[in-house]
Each structure stands twice: as C-alpha cells, then as structure tokens.
Amino acid sequence: MFKILSKENKRRVGIIKTQHGDIQTPAFLPDATYGAVKTLSFEDVLKAGIDQILTTTLHMSIRPGDGYIKRMGGLHNFLNWQRPILTDSGGWQVFSLIHKSGNGKVTEEGAEFIMPDDGRKHLLTPEDSINIQANLRSDIFVVLDDPVIGSATKVENEAAVDLTVEWAKRAKKAFYKRYQLDDKKFDDQEKYKRPLIFSVIQGGNYKDLRKKCAVKLLEIGFDGYGYGGILLKDDKKTTRDMLSHFAELVPQDKIRYGMGVGKPDDVKFCIEEGYDLFDCVVPTRNGRHGYCYTSFGGINLKSSKYRYDNRQIDPECDCEACRIRDKRPGASRAYLYNLFRAKEISAMRLCSIHNLRYYSKLLGSYR
C-alpha cells in the first residue's frame, strides 16, 4: 500500500507498506546483484541508513536458483535482510545480453538467451519472471518488459511498447494465479498480504508512445510504474524531458519508480518531479573506483591531489570512513588514496559505505 504523507509542488513524501516493513519515500535501493551489495555486509548497509534493497531476479534464479532460495525460506531469510526487497524482472539483464552481445532473441513468448554464468540457453517468459520473484518471496515485483536500445526506430519502439503491454497482461494474470487473487482481492493488498507489483513504461523518446504504454498499463492496474530506459544515454535535456513526461503520465496515487536513476543530480531532479523510488549501481560502483560524493561535489580519491590530505572525505558525513575515531578520521583521504594504489579491498568498501551514506542522507533530507 502506498500513502502520501505530504506534498509540496510536485514533490511528495510517502510510505510504502510491504510484508517486511515500510519504505519511507522518497527512497533509494542499492543493488545486491548476487545477494550482496558489492564489498558490503548487510550490517554495513543498515548502518548507512538504508532500509530497502534491490536484488536481481535473473542472477538469483540461475545462481543459486530461485528453487534454492525458496527452500532456504526466501530471500529475506537467506540474506538475513528482514526489510523490504524489490526484485527487478530480470528483463534488463536479458536485454543487455540480447541487445549488447547478440546472445539471444526476443519472441512473443519471452526472451531467449544464453547466460554467460552457465553458458546455457534459457527462456524467460513474463510468467516465469513472476514465479521466480514469488519463489524469492520478494516484496515488490517488477513485470518483464521489452526495453529497446537507444538507436531503435519509432516502429521498433512501438513494437516494444506493444510487447511490454502484452507481457504485463500475462504477468498480472500469472500473479493472480500464484496468489489466488481477483481484481477485488488485488485492491485490498493489506488484507490479502500480497506483494506489490510494478510494470515498466517504455516508448523511448516518443511521448505519444510513452503515453500509449502508460494508458494501457494503467488499465491493467499495478501498484507502481517504472521509468524504462534511463540508460538510453541521450542528451541530458531529452532524458529529463522524458523523465518529467513519465511523472505526468502516472497518477498521484501510484508509485513512481526511477529505475536506474541515478546520479545525485538526477535523483534530486526526479524527486522534484514527484518520483518515489530509485535504484542505481552508481554509489557503490563509483565508490569501488574511488569516486566519492560529498556535500561539496564529487571527489576522486585516486587522484594524487589527495596524497597528503589527512582530512575526512566529507566533514559533514558520519560514515565509518568519515567519523572521527581517536581524534582523527576513521580513514583519511590520504590513507584511502594509498589503499587504492595498493589495491586494498578495504578502500572499495569504505568508499561504497560513504556513498551509500551520502545517498541515504540525500533522500532522507526530503522526507
């Protein structure tokens, strides 16, 4: 269930009730691709002030396998993360495999692809994706969609929208079947203790296609809607224009999810446009490469200008690296600079923690 607590202009503060607790929105979800936010323990994630994570359905379904996770009592028990989990549809990974590597094809039935992890051929249908996420015992499902590449034509985009809508219908049907729901029961989420389910609005940079996709998906009816295609790598103005357009297409009472959004500036922009959820690998991936977000902009700790800098990454931060311990920063810029040079893993972890803490405080500042 989604409840808006307050609103100012387009921006809003809300709460999403799930079977594993509440998500205070706007909220950021770090990516725990293979069951861990890279280099971090879940205690690290909690200490950064993060209360919800994303895990990737496809990876989990192949290794260790959703049957395995089910046997282990679901993702929450397996990971010991007793808070909300959103699972993606597996679609992004599939299409990045298909579109980028040519290792498969999209058919009406689903996505056929060869997984590099096991070298085997897999078919992922919209129904499979729902059943996998159910086996994982996810709190928020995302239905399989057909994201197109940036160079796709309008005709290709329209075909992708049609397939996305068709798959969303099938996904919702599979969801009803799995949880023995009908339209009436679906609307009473709390009573029937069902997970939430999101679909993804595609349409590339064509507003009419986005609108067509939104209208049809709204007819089917989901708890939230994801913005498809942040990774189209368009110019910033076009992307932001489309991000705004998306927010207008999704009604007030529905959750707006900026999938793969993003850098702090993009997150701030989307919050002002009325988005509620975000996920991105940026804070942890950048952290692993020594790039840290701070109250005064980004800094790259691999740069030799930090060699003699014994200050904390950000004096306004209270993460393990920045916090004062024994009168000095837990890990100074100079120390981290040297750890990166020596390829010490602890530097990647400390900078990932720092960036997650930055995101956690950034999102918290709006709530």
How far does the chain reach from its first CA to its final CA, in angstroms? 18
Tell the smallest beta-carbon distance from residue 158 to a second copy (Å): 38
Residues of this chain, 281-310, that bind a second copy according to CB under 8 A: 307-308, 310
Q: Given 3-state DSSP classes, what are the helix, strand and coil percentages for the chain, each rounded to the nearest 5?
A: 45, 20, 35
- Any catalytic annotation for residue 266? no
Quick one: which segment of 164-172, 185-193, 214-222, 320-328 binds a second copy (CB under 8 A)? 320-328
Residues 339-358 that bind a second copy (CB under 8 A): 339, 341-342, 344-350
Please report where in the chains the tokens 């296609």 appear, as a residue.
209
* Residue 315 binds a second copy, judged by CB under 8 A: no
19 makes contact with a second copy (CB under 8 A): no
**Binding to a second copy, residues 82-121 (CB under 8 A):** 82
The reply on whether position 320 binds a second copy by CB under 8 A is yes
**Cβ 347 to a second copy shortest distance, Å:** 8
Whole-angstrom Cα distance, residue 58 to residue 56?
Answer: 6
CB 15 within 8 A of CB 3: yes
Is residue 88 flagged as an active site residue?
yes
Give the shortest CB-285-to-a second copy separation in angstroms.
13
Contact call for residues 297 and 313 (beta carbons, < 8 A): no
Do 317 and 292 contact (CB within 8 A), yes or no? no
DSSP symbols for 201-264: E--TT-HHHHHHHHHHHHHH--SEEEE--GGG---HHHHHHHHHHHHHHS-TTSEEEEET--SH
Rounded CA-CA distance 30/45 in Å is 9
Residue among 35, 103, 281, 285 that touches a second copy (CB under 8 A): 35
List active site positions: 88, 279
Residues in the site for a second copy, rule: CB under 8 A?
34-36, 38-43, 63-64, 68, 71-73, 77-80, 82, 307-308, 310, 320-321, 325-332, 334-335, 338-339, 341-342, 344-350
